[in-house]
Amino acid sequence: MGLLPVEQALAMLWEHTPGPDREGLSWHHALGRVLLEPALSLLDDPAFDRSSMDGYSLKAAGTHEGSRLPVTATILAGQCPSRPLELGGAVKVMTGAPIPSGADAVAPVEDCRESGGFVELIRPVRPGENIRYRGENLRAGETVFYPGRRLDALDVATGIALGIERAAVARRPSATILATGSELVEPGTSPGPGLIPNSNGPMLASLWRGWGGRLAGETCVPDGEEELEAAIRRGLESDYLVLSGGVSVGERDLVPELLGRAGVRRIFHKVAMKPGKPIYFGRREDTVVLGLPGNPVSSFVGALLFLQSSLHKRMGLPPLAWRTRHLAERHESGGGRTRFEPAVPVDGGGVNLLRHMGSADLPAWRGAEALVELPAGRAVFEAGSPLRVLLFRHLGRETGA
Ligand code: AMP
Ligand code: MG
């Protein structure tokens, strides 16, 4: 199989990823979840005519500087008026309290003097002043949120304020993450000669959870047929099986063959990109299988593009949001395949590429906040060139998996 252009690989991945499974949740437990159905307001907003200030509700017509009106009652927030406004009188109301019928304005306390049971206005009041009328923001039955929205803290609060109780959301898919390689030691163990810590496993697990997925397991497997085969079989019980390492053409790169033996249908293997060429994508029943190259930068870039895209489809989100940014400084690099480079946004809306030593140089990405695509076949990018960019610093959203 030849090298697939990135766009084509992403399109195939989208097509072959199953759509979302629906589940119902109480709205106030739906933080980080993606809506699959429109959410409709159950209340008018505001739900009743209410005061937006502490003040005196009254009839505005005929008021002038020096008007004196008897204060006939006080309504606190949470109370209801027991009777209509008396002609020529005023009812003291606190912020958020319902307005008595017959009143059409609220004179704020700052513009009044109260003594001996009377309120004196220091200026006339206009009709409608400081009253928020029932339904003026939004009516019951209106759509507040549309499918595809990932609910954040403000959305949770807004829905609750509008009386929404249930959310139809996408089930969070589970993933088993397998880091393959006989050179790997678990984090926290000091590596012996020739060995390295397994950093990809925790990276992929953290990304997955940050994006809203559930983690079924994260383990490290040596490059031995039996261990790998058993781990793959268990991993295929999750919605996603994500592997790092062993997908290229080295002596011990067993993953593609073992996946085939386990009944995984290969959809593509090898994409025309740098880093990350040997990416593998397959499917068995509803389980999505993604094999990422072991070099840490390749794993990260592959996860950002392919794992994240697939998860978007599986969770009912729109495809990844690429943006256009202009290169702040001229950049030269070998042409050939599409390249993905670490970058930082700079003042004025552009991006700067970070220097790095290739696909093993994860530390060079410490300051990176964006992935920049350098299109295939071009070696020189002048300052000001528009490039496609994927921002990633804002994407991690802990959902408490
Ligand atoms: P592979 O794709 O299996 O050929 O791995 C390529 C290189 O990536 C290996 O030689 C390791 O240096 C590195 N590598 C593989 N797996 C991991 C991992 N889980 N964590 C960190 N580095 C890894
Ligand atoms: Mg390996």
| Residue 173 phi, psi (nearest 5) | -70, 150
Q: Is residue 242 a contact partner of residue 208, using CB atoms and an 8 Å limit? A: yes
Q: What is the per-residue pLDDT for 395?
A: 45
Could you please report the per-residue DSSP string of 232-247? HHHHTTSSEEEEES--
Nearest CA, atom 6, ligand 1? 294
Closest Cα partner for 384 from 310, 324, 343? Answer: 324
Q: What is the per-residue pLDDT for 258?
A: 97
Q: How many CA atoms lie within 13 A of 253 on its CB side?
A: 16
**What are the boundaries of each domain within the chain?**
6-19+172-315, 22-45+136-170, 50-132, 323-391
Q: How far apart are CA 144 and CA 126, in angstroms?
A: 32
Q: How far apart are CA 213 and CA 360, in angstroms?
A: 26
Tell me, using a 6 A CB cutoff, whether residue 293 lines ligand 1: yes
Report the nearest atom of ligand 1 relative to the CA of 253. Answer: 3
Task: Name the residue of 186, 244, 269 whose CB sits within 8 Å of the most ligand 1 atoms, as the mutation to test its pocket.
Answer: 244
Q: What is the per-residue pLDDT for 187?
A: 86
Two structure tokens written together for 154 = 């403000």
CATH number of the 6-19+172-315 domain: 3.40.980.10
Report the separation in Å between the CA atom of 5 and the middle of ligand 2, taken as the mean of its atom positions: 24
Q: Is residue 318 a contact partner of residue 19, using CB atoms and an 8 Å limit? A: no
Instruction: Provide the H-helix boundaries in 236-307.
Output: 255-261, 296-302
Q: What is the per-residue pLDDT for 252?
A: 86
Two structure tokens written together for 240 = 């996603």
Q: Is residue 238 a contact partner of residue 176, using CB atoms and an 8 Å limit? A: yes
- Give residues whose Cβ lies within 5 Å of ion ligand 2: 181, 245-246, 294
Report the separation in Å between the CA atom of 294 and the middle of ligand 1, taken as the mean of its atom positions: 3
Ligand that comes closest to the CA of residue 295: 1
Please determine, looking at this structure, whether the domain spanning 22-45+136-170 carries the CATH number 1.25.40.10. Answer: no
Nearest CA, atom 16, ligand 1? 294
**Regions of the chain with pLDDT less than 50:** 395-401
Q: Is residue 227 a contact partner of residue 181, using CB atoms and an 8 Å limit? A: no
Beta strands 90-93 and 338-345 are unpaired
DSSP E strand boundaries for 299-337: 323-326, 331-332
Tell me, using a 6 A CB cutoff, whether residue 242 lines ligand 1: no
Report the separation in Å between the CA atom of 3 and the middle of ligand 1, taken as the mean of its atom positions: 21
CA distances from 7 to 264, 392, 395 (A): 23, 19, 21
Q: What is the per-residue pLDDT for 319?
A: 96
Tell me, using a 6 A CB cutoff, whether residue 338 lines ligand 1: no
Q: How far apart are CA 341 and CA 389, in angstroms?
A: 10
Instruction: Select 323-391's CATH number: 3.30.365.10, 2.40.340.10, 3.40.50.300, 3.50.50.60.
Output: 2.40.340.10
Ligand that comes closest to the CA of residue 293: 1
Q: Is residue 326 a contact partner of residue 304, using CB atoms and an 8 Å limit? A: no
Cα 165 → chain centroid:
21
Report the separation in Å between the CA atom of 322 and the middle of ligand 2, taken as the mean of its atom positions: 31
Could you tell me how many helices (H) and strands (E) the chain has, helices first? 7, 28
pTM of the predicted model as reported, rounded to 2 decimal places? 0.92
Report the separation in Å between the CA atom of 338 and the middle of ligand 1, taken as the mean of its atom positions: 22
50-132, CATH topology level: Molybdopterin biosynthesis moeA protein; domain 3 (2.170.190)
Q: How far apart are CA 218 and CA 178, in angstroms?
A: 6
Q: Is residue 127 a contact partner of residue 104, using CB atoms and an 8 Å limit? A: yes
50-132 against 323-391: fold identical: no
Q: How far apart are CA 78 and CA 274, in angstroms?
A: 62
CA distances from 348 to 105, 270, 342, 345 (A): 47, 37, 18, 9
- Cα separation of the two ends of the chain: 38
